[in-house]
């Protein structure tokens, strides 16, 4: 599979210690992606966020999530992304169209 975008650049074979990067984007996207086989990683390569600025998906505290959520709305892998975030307890960023707070609420209801 051809590597595309910023998402591919941040995949690794181990889960590294958090790196100093823009609002934690590197550490969040390194969170185990390199440990998945090709079939499990396929959704990431089809994700619309992989073609956009990652900063939109990691707004500063109190910052707008509108741009990222708008991108997620039209994404074909939104469900897979949300499933990944919930399964891996992602605590930062917009995943599957939901913020950290929205994912917490969803977990509580489940």
Binding residues for [4Fe-4S] cluster: 49, 72, 75, 81
- Within 13 Å and on the Cβ side, how many CA atoms surround 33? 21
Residue (of 79, 80, 85, 77) closest to 103 by Cα position: 85
Burial call 72-84: b when 16+ CB within 10 Å, e when fewer: beebebbebbbeb
Residue (of 107, 100, 3, 7) closest to 52 by Cα position: 7
Largest alpha-carbon pair distance within the chain? Answer: 38
Q: Binding-site residues, please?
A: 49, 72, 75, 81
């Amino acid at each position: 599979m051809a590597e595309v975008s910023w998402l591919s650049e941040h995949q690794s074979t181990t889960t590294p210690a958090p790196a100093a990067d823009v609002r934690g984007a590197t550490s969040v996207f390194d969170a185990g992606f390199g440990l998945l086989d090709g079939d499990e990683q396929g959704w990431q390569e089809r994700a619309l966020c992989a073609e956009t600025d990652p900063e939109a998906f990691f707004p500063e505290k109190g910052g707008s999530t509108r741009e990222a959520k708008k991108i997620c709305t039209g994404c074909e892998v939104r469900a897979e992304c949300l499933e990944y975030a919930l399964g891996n307890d992602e605590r930062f960023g917009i995943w599957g169209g939901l913020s950290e707070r929205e994912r917490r609420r969803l977990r509580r209801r489940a």
